Structure 1
């Protein structure tokens, strides 16, 4: 029952953020969220005793939701996948998920409040891990992730959205394929051998 109340509050806070005309204009208070959730302020504060606690809860919920989408897409947890497959999952999910201004607001607010960034690192950090990979592979995976980041943020804000997200997704996935090839010693050896023979 307590978890139901908590979820009701988080959904109310996100709905309030979504109702604003711009991301910059988003402001929420414990009073406004309580009213939106149909609770008294003390009822809300039973779950979130402060505005900071509410924001931490919102960010944690959003970050966990992204991780859940990735697990559902792959059918596996992050540790059971290669870095390349984890990045493929993120690119695919980020360019197909329904997102809103509220999603962008929750994500971007972490820029100004370091405590809020911890949830993103905790839930999505394992999906972006590139430990042990070749430097070129890491840079290509990062470029692919940046493509996906830009795609969903542009869709969420409505600022210069892509006219063909499918094409953007294919280019980002191609970067991941290139990263996997760059990180494969056998492929690199093969390329070098062919170059020497040609010369």
Structure 2
């Protein structure tokens, strides 16, 4: 029951953000969210005792929602996949998911409040893990991720959206393919060098 009340509040806060004409016009208060959720302010404060707690909850909810989209798309947890598979999932989901101004506002607000960025790091950080990869492969994966970031943010804000997101997705995925081929080539080269050393 408490979980239902918490979710009701978070959805109300997101709906308020979405109802504004611009991201800059978003103003969230405990009173406005309580009214939108059909609760009293004390009822809301039972779940979120302060505006900071509400914002932390909202960001955590949004970040977990993105991570869940990725798990649903792949059918796996991040640790069960390769870096290339994780990045392909993100590119695909980011260029096909339904996003809104509220998504962008929740994400961008973390720029000004460091505490809010932790949830994004915790939930999405594992999906962007590239430890152990050649730096050239990492740069290609990063470029693919930046393509995906730009795609969903542009769609969410309506500022210069793409006329063909499918093409954007395809090009971003080709960067990941190139990174994987580069990584495989480097691994084969290392293996050959090792075999040569053993033979000598």
CA drift at 1:184: 1.3
1:109 aligns with 2:109: yes
For residues 103 and 153 of structure 2, the distance between their equivalents in structure 1, rounded to whole angstroms, comes to 9
Q: Secondary structure at the match of 1:159?
A: coil
CA drift at 1:187: 7.7
Moved runs in structure 1, 4+ residues, more than 2 A? 185-189
Aligned residue pairs, count:
189
For residues 24 and 175 of structure 1, the distance between their equivalents in structure 2, rounded to whole angstroms, comes to 34
The superposition leaves residues 106-148 of structure 1 with CA deviations (integer Å, 9 ceiling, x where unpaired) of: 0000000000000000000000000000000000000000000
Q: TM-score scaled by structure 2?
A: 0.93
Matched residue, 2:193: none
Matched residue, 2:183: 183
CA drift at 1:98: 0.1
Q: Secondary structure at the match of 2:65?
A: helix
The superposition leaves residues 11-43 of structure 1 with CA deviations (integer Å, 9 ceiling, x where unpaired) of: 000000000000011011000000000000000
Considering only aligned residues, what root-mean-square deviation do their CA atoms show, in Å?
1.0
Q: Secondary structure at the match of 2:24?
A: coil
Q: Secondary structure at the match of 2:25?
A: coil
Identify unmatched segments of 5+ residues in structure 2: 190-200
**Contact preservation (8 Å) 1:181, 1:188:** no
Matched residue, 1:71: 71
CA drift at 1:185: 3.1
The superposition leaves residues 62-106 of structure 1 with CA deviations (integer Å, 9 ceiling, x where unpaired) of: 000000000000000000000000000000000000000000000
CA drift at 1:178: 0.3
Identify unmatched segments of 5+ residues in structure 1: 190-199
